[in-house]
Amino acid sequence: MAPIYSNNLYQPRDRSNICKAAGVKVVPSVAVVQIAQKAGFDALFIDMEHSTLSIYNVSQLCTAGLLAGITPLVRVPHQCGNGMVQKVLDGGAMGVIFPHIDSRSDAEAAVSISKYPPWGKRSMTGQLPQFSMVTRPVQQVVDESNANGSAVIVMMETGLSLENADTIASTPGVDVLLVGSSDLCIDLGISGQFESDQFRAALETVNNSCKNHKKLFGIAGIYEDSSTLSWAIKNLDVRFMLGQYDASIVSKGFKQCAESMKQLERL
């Protein structure tokens, strides 16, 4: 029996080999999946929290990601309910990103809906995209999905999450602690101050908890030429990182094109 699709999140990582995710929130086209894969990304960060993407859009992107070998991960809206998480996983996601996780109980709830028994309470269905839409023995689906096909990524976005970082990281079934940089800075009263000592200390707190409990440490929300991002990659154990979103990349490309055309106008 063919196994579940591989999950790039679980590949061995070091400072020179970080799982790089492309953000998708405005282009519900399978073409963007192929573009991201050819550009060198390892995963898709499909965003339902800050977009109008439908479950159908997300499932199509996930299936395209599976076929292209770029792992589909989906961020669901905060407190969206178990039903939406179930649909996202049944639609092909290899992992779910849960925003605003502040406590161990929040983390446990995320694991519970993401995993089949005995790890959680996810409901069983047949012919999943993760298994090429082919019927597999139930126990194979349970075992392989729990181990490799339902990563739990919890976002650390508040001062309370920092206080509880160690207990969140100790939660069985949690795979990644992902710092949501913008929201965390806002909550700490240092909005946009990614270069501040306070924010770097927050990154160190989460990183240390990940090391203590052998979880992956990730960073989202800092892009391009940030000295803090360079510092984190050099000094911390960053294993997962969100790149820019499709909207930002398209906007930048359009702007560069328009500027070059303006230069031609002046000739």
Question: Which domains are present in the chain?
Answer: 19-265 (3.20.20.60)
Residue type, 185: C
Residue type, 197: D
pLDDT at residue 2 greater than cutoff 90: no
Tell me: the pLDDT tens digits for 174-204?
999 999 999 999 999 999 999 999 999 999 9
User: What DSSP letter does each residue of 83-125 carry, written as one string?
Assistant: HHHHHHHHTT-SEEEES---SHHHHHHHHHHHS-TTT--PPP-
Q: What is the dihedral of CA 173, 28, 70, 66, to 10 degrees?
A: 80
Nearest Cα to Cα of residue 169 among 206, 122, 143, 142: 206
Q: What is the dihedral of CA 163, 169, 172, 175, to 10 degrees?
A: 140
Active site residue ranges? 50
Tokens 């669901």 sit on residue: 76
pLDDT at residue 24 greater than cutoff 80: yes
| Cβ contacts of 5 within 8 Å, gap of 6 or more | 66, 94, 130, 131, 132, 149
Nearest Cα to Cα of residue 89 among 47, 125, 140, 118: 125
Residue 58 — very low, low, confident or very high, per pLDDT cuts 50/70/90? very high
Q: What is the pLDDT of residue 133?
A: 95
| Cβ contacts of 237 within 8 Å, gap of 6 or more | 15, 207, 210, 211, 217
| Cβ contacts of 263 within 8 Å, gap of 6 or more | none
Q: What is the dihedral of CA 156, 88, 172, 134, to 10 degrees?
A: -150
Q: What is the pLDDT of residue 8?
A: 96
Q: What is the pLDDT of residue 13?
A: 67
Residue type, 106: D
Tell me: the pLDDT tens digits for 68-123?
999 999 999 999 999 999 999 999 999 999 999 999 999 999 999 999 999 999 99
The SS3 assignment for 194 reads coil
* Contact between residue 203 and residue 238 where contact means Cβ atoms under 8 Å apart: no
Tell me: the pLDDT tens digits for 132-151?
999 999 999 999 999 999 99
Rounded Cα–Cα distance for residues 93 and 46 (Å)? 9
* 20: number of Cβ within 10 Å: 18
Tokens 């446990």 sit on residue: 108
Nearest Cα to Cα of residue 152 among 178, 187, 176: 176
Residue type, 21: A
Tell me: the pLDDT tens digits for 3-20?
899 999 998 766 668 999
